Amino acid sequence: MSVIEISGLHKAFGPLQVLRGIDLSVERGDVVCVIGPSGSGKSTLLRCVNLLEQPDSGTILVGGTELTDPDVDIDLARRKLGMVFQGFNLFSHLSVLDNLTIAQRKVLRRSGSEAVETARRNLAKVGLAGKESAVPSQLSGGQQQRAAIARALSMNPEVMLFDEPTSALDPELVGDVLGVMRQLADEGMTMIVVTHEMQFAREVADRVLFMDGGVVVEQGPAEQVIGDPQEERTRTFLARVLNPLK
Amino acid sequence: MAGSTDSAPPRSEPIAAVPVRHPGRWVAAAVLLVLAAMVVHSLLTNPAWQWSVVGDYLFSGRVLGGLLVTAELTVLAMLIGVVGGVLIAVMRLSNNPIVSGVAWFYAWFFRGTPVLVQIIFWSFIGFLYPYLSLGIPFGPEFIFFDSNKLIPLFMGAVLGLGLNEAAYMSEIVRAGILSVDTGQTEAAEALGMTRTKIMTRIVLPQAMRVIIPPTGNETISMLKTTSLVAVVAGGDLFTEVQLIYGGNYKQIPLLVVASLWYLLFTSVLSVGQYYIERRYSRGTSVQAGGNVR
């Protein structure tokens, strides 16, 4: 059974139709990259998956739970989904360690020692061992984003959602974050990644979705969608992204 | 330069640096010093100030007792103000239109009526409602209170000051909450935290940096506003000096006594505010998010 099953998803902001009927199913262990021009609705799609945006119509099944059902405890469903934001969104008043433990203790009701142990393990995994007591403003953007990934991982999610995780980073810091994400993919984590990093999509993704104007224009294996796109809109977009000077 | 035969560029004599002169400053300073000297001279030589009377009453039992009441009023009113202000602010930001409407009405009402009127009103609430009871409107009542016992004069003064303060504090807290980046709330939501936990653990602690400085101002302001309870004989510092000069007609020296104490207390509060602000601005330096484009 699919981990995530989306069908007929519509979302409008006022008169602006951002999503016009999205269907997507993600199997366990899948790495799906969503690409497309800004304003195409790819971030909104991702934010609908954990109900940071309330969809207007359509269904979103996460692990068999219908998220749009008003009787479903959304906080419970969100535990299955780890989210990584473009702007990191580490809690700026807490140390790195507290950032990683607060939700473990307050949401999962883990003991302090268990939460700290999980946090340390995940910090080591993203290459931030020793940064436990730093506050977010003392870290570089790349370190903050890796700490944010470790924070999401500490909740033991079934699926990780990445919303343009490297778009706010200085170019030389992008590699560290992508490296951590590739490692996660290699370990079999189910991931949906909204990204402009075509090389990452090509090398890591099992499947690539090209979105434009609120619909999925084209999807398939990475080498097909990025290497040999069938649709004209996909070709135009990729030509601009891969050769911006032409 | 034209006549120079040296290949090296000609070196001019070093200029003797003279600081720019500011004759206006000297004149202004002199004028102010003369004026200050005149004030001090009159303070010391005008017998009407009656400094010996000031000395007699500065540490008198009645004045110190009034001072204690002033301090209690300030602390209790600010306690009601801060707790009530947070509550009203959170209600105001609720998505429920009834809840946010009630909060809006509260702020509108209490900011729109003079605090002096409210102090008198709450002190005499017993005339309006001799008995207070909890129960279902138009239905049975469960608990009865005698208003005059529940709300004695002192509590009336505290309520008047505190409820009014809550209206102002709610705006300060609301501004603080709105100053916290929405990404913080989203990140906490995505982690599955409940609305209450997000507010108490994530948003309010970060809002403190914005809330603390104006709250310090409000506390200093409250210390002086408590003097209004003299109209209901609230027993504070100002009530006491009024009662004393009502008996001995030495208004000026007793007003000086009150002013000296108010000045001392506000100075102490200002120093405290400085240290609290410094503490809460830690970890929120300008380089926060410096790598975000």
Which residue from B minimizes the CA distance to A46? B190
Q: Quote the pLDDT of residue A73.
A: 87
Q: Quote the pLDDT of residue B282.
A: 61
Q: B187 vs A90: CB contact, 8 Å cut-off?
A: yes
Determine, yes or no, domain membership for B60: no
> Measured between CB atoms, does A170 come within 8 Å of chain B?
yes
Chain B contacts of A170, Cβ < 8 Å? Answer: 291
> Measured between CB atoms, does A220 come within 8 Å of chain B?
no
Determine, yes or no, domain membership for B161: yes
Q: Quote the pLDDT of residue B288.
A: 40
Which of B196, B201, B204, B291 best probes binding to A when mutated, by most A CB atoms within 10 angstroms?
A: B291
Measured distance CA(B279)–CA(B167) in Å, rounded: 26
pLDDT digits (tens, 9 = 90+) for B253-267: 999 999 999 999 999
Measured distance CA(A118)–CA(A110) in Å, rounded: 10
Determine, yes or no, domain membership for B221: yes
Q: Quote the pLDDT of residue B286.
A: 41
Determine, yes or no, domain membership for B30: no
Q: B206 vs A93: CB contact, 8 Å cut-off?
A: yes
Average pLDDT of every residue of chain B: 87
Chain B contacts of A163, Cβ < 8 Å? Answer: none
Structural domain range at position B88: 72-280
- pLDDT category of residue B285 using cuts at 50, 70 and 90: very low
Chain B contacts of A81, Cβ < 8 Å? Answer: 190
Determine, yes or no, domain membership for B34: no
Q: Is the pLDDT of residue B290 over 50?
A: no
Amino acid (one-letter) located at B119: I
Determine, yes or no, domain membership for B170: yes
Q: Which conformational region is residue B218 in: left (phi greater than 0), alpha (psi within -120 to 50 degrees), or beta?
A: alpha
Q: Quote the pLDDT of residue B136.
A: 76
- pLDDT category of residue B292 using cuts at 50, 70 and 90: very low
CATH number of the domain encompassing residue B162: 1.10.3720.10
Residues of chain A with pLDDT under 70: 1
β-sheet with A31-35: strand ranges across: A81-84, A159-163, A190-194, A31-35, A207-212, A215-220
Amino acid (one-letter) located at B73: L
- The answer to which of A113-127, B165-179, B228-242 has the lowest mean pLDDT is B228-242
Q: Quote the pLDDT of residue B11.
A: 66
> Measured between CB atoms, does A133 come within 8 Å of chain B?
no
SS3 content of chain A, % helix, strand, coil (to 5): 35, 25, 40
Determine, yes or no, domain membership for B9: no
Token look-up 């501004």 returns B175
- The answer to which of A141-145, A165-169, B154-158, B206-210 has the lowest mean pLDDT is B154-158
- pLDDT category of residue B147 using cuts at 50, 70 and 90: low
pLDDT digits (tens, 9 = 90+) for B93-136: 999 999 999 999 999 999 999 999 999 888 887 777 777 777 77
- Mean of pLDDT values over B24-51: 93
Which of B76, B99, B75 shows the shortest CA–CA distance to B88?
B99
Q: Quote the pLDDT of residue B291.
A: 37
Measured distance CA(A195)–CA(A215) in Å, rounded: 17
pTM: 0.81
Amino acid (one-letter) located at A68: T
Q: Percent of chain B having pLDDT more than 90?
A: 65
Tokens describing residue B161: 């000051």
Q: Quote the pLDDT of residue B71.
A: 95
Which residue from A minimizes the CA distance to B180? A92
Nearby residues of B251 by Cβ (< 8 Å), 6 or more positions away: B245
Q: Quote the pLDDT of residue B261.
A: 96
Q: Is the pLDDT of residue B289 over 50?
A: no
Which of B191, B199, B287, B293 best probes binding to A when mutated, by most A CB atoms within 10 angstroms?
A: B191
Measured distance CA(B270)–CA(B277) in Å, rounded: 11
Q: Quote the pLDDT of residue B7.
A: 57
Determine, yes or no, domain membership for B48: no
| Domains of chain B: total | 1
Would you list the DSSP string of A194-228?
A: E-S-HHHHHHH-SEEEEEETTEEEEEE-HHHHTTS
Which residue from B minimizes the CA distance to A142? B291
